[in-house]
Amino acid sequence: MDASTGQEGDAAFWARARRHMLSYGGNFIPFVAARASGAFVYDAHGRRVLDFTSGQMSAILGHSHPEIAATLASAAASLDHLFSSMLSLPVVDLAEALARLMPSLPRVMLLSTGGEANEAAIKIAKLVTGAWEVVGFAQSWHGMTGGAAAATYKAGRRGYGPAAAGSFAIPAPNAFRPRFPNLSWEAELDDAFDLVDRQSTGNLAAFIAEPILSSGGIIELPQGYLAALKRKCAERGMLLILDEAQTALGRTGTMFAFERDGVAPDILVLSKTLGAGLPLSAVMTSEKIADECAARGFLFYTTHVNDPLPAAVGLKVLEIVERDELAARAATMGAKLKKGLVELQSRHSCIGDVRGRGLLLGLEFVDESAGKRRSAAMLSDAITDRALSLGLCANIVRAGSSGGVMRIAPPLTVSEEEIDLGLDLLGSAMNEVLRN
CA distance 98 to 399: 33
246 included as an active-site residue? yes
Q: Which residues have C-beta within 8 Å of that of residue 63, sequence separation ≥ 6? A: 36, 37, 38, 39, 40, 41, 51, 55, 277, 411
- Among 51, 133, 210, 353, which one carries the catalytic annotation? 210
243 included as an active-site residue? yes
Strand, coil or helix: 183? coil
Cα separations in angstroms, 68 against 29, 251, 252: 27, 18, 22
Q: DSSP of 350-364, one letter per residue?
A: TEEEEEEETTEEEEE
Secondary element (H or E) of residue 330: helix 326-347
Q: Quick count: other Cβ atoms within 10 Å of Cβ 72? A: 18
Rg of the chain, C-alpha, whole Å: 22
198 included as an active-site residue? no
Q: Which residues have C-beta within 8 Å of that of residue 331, sequence separation ≥ 6? A: 253, 254, 358
Q: Which of 327, 326, 364, 323 is nearest to 342 (CA)?
A: 364
- Among 188, 243, 266, 381, which one carries the catalytic annotation? 243
16 included as an active-site residue? no
407 included as an active-site residue? yes
Per DSSP bridges, beta strands 133-137 and 167-170 are parallel
- Among 272, 357, 374, 386, which one carries the catalytic annotation? 272
Strand, coil or helix: 18? helix
- Among 51, 141, 261, 381, which one carries the catalytic annotation? 141
CA distance 382 to 369: 16
Identify the DSSP state of 63: B
210 included as an active-site residue? yes
Amino acid at position 348, single letter? H
- Among 119, 126, 133, 246, which one carries the catalytic annotation? 246
Half-sphere exposure at residue 53, Cβ-oriented, CA atoms within 13 angstroms: 19
CA distance 52 to 360: 10
The torsion angles phi and psi of 373, rounded to 5 degrees, stand at 60, 30
The torsion angles phi and psi of 28, rounded to 5 degrees, stand at -75, 140
Strand, coil or helix: 48? strand
Q: Which of 229, 40, 119 is nearest to 109 (CA)?
A: 119
Q: Which of 412, 371, 365, 366 is nearest to 384 (CA)?
A: 365
Known catalytic residues? Answer: 141, 210, 243, 246, 272, 407
